[in-house]
Amino acid sequence: MWRRFVWLCAVLCFGASCGGETPTPQDNRLTIAMIAKSSVNPVFLSARTGAEAAAKELSTQHGIEIVIDWRTPPTEDGQVQAQRIAQAVNDGVDAVLISCSDAAKVTGAIDDAVARGVPVITFDSDAADSKRFAYYGVDDIKMGRAVMAELAALMGGKGKVAILAGNQNAPNLRKRVEGAMLEAQQHPDMTVAGTFYHVETPQDAAAEVVRVNNAYPDLGGWAMVGGWALFTQTLLTDLNSEKIKVVSVDGLPPELAYIEKGIAPVLWAQPTYLWGYESVRLIVDKVHLKKDVPIINPMALERVSMENIREWAKKLKGWGFSDVPEHLLQ
Q: Which residues bind another protein (CB under 8 A)?
A: 1-2, 4-5, 8-9, 11-12, 14-16, 18-24, 26, 39, 69-72, 74, 77-79, 82-84, 86-87, 89-92, 102-105, 107-109, 112, 115-117, 167-169, 197
The enclosing H or E element of 153 equals: helix 140-154
What's the min distance (Å) between Cβ of 254 and another protein?
A: 21
d(CA 132, CA 106): 11
Residues belonging to the chain: 330
Give whichever of 2 and 214 is closer to another protein, judged by the CB atom: 2
Q: Rank residues 45 and 161 by Cβ distance to another protein and give the closer one.
A: 45
CB 256 within 8 A of CB 309: yes
Task: Round to whole Å and give the CA distance between 144 and 328.
Answer: 28
Tell me how far apart the alpha carbons of residues 238 and 200 are, in angstroms, rounded to a whole number.
20
**275, 136 Cβ separation under 8 angstroms:** yes
Nearest-approach distance from CB 276 to another protein, in angstroms: 17
CA distance 230 to 145: 20
Is residue 11 helix, strand or coil? Answer: helix
Closer residue to another protein in complex, CB, 45/247: 45
Q: How far is the CB of 135 from another protein (least distance, A)?
A: 18
Phi and psi, residue 281, nearest 5°: -60, -40
Minimum Å gap between C-beta 237 and another protein is: 31
Q: What are phi and psi of 63, to 5 degrees?
A: 70, 30
Residue with smaller CB distance to another protein, 168 or 185:
168
Q: Tell me how far, at minimum, the Cβ of 231 lies from another protein, in Å.
A: 19
Q: Which is nearer to another protein, 89 or 209 (CB)?
A: 89
Taking the complex as a whole, the smallest distance from the CB of residue 227 to another protein amounts, in Å, to 20
Closer to another protein by Cβ: residue 105 or 160:
105
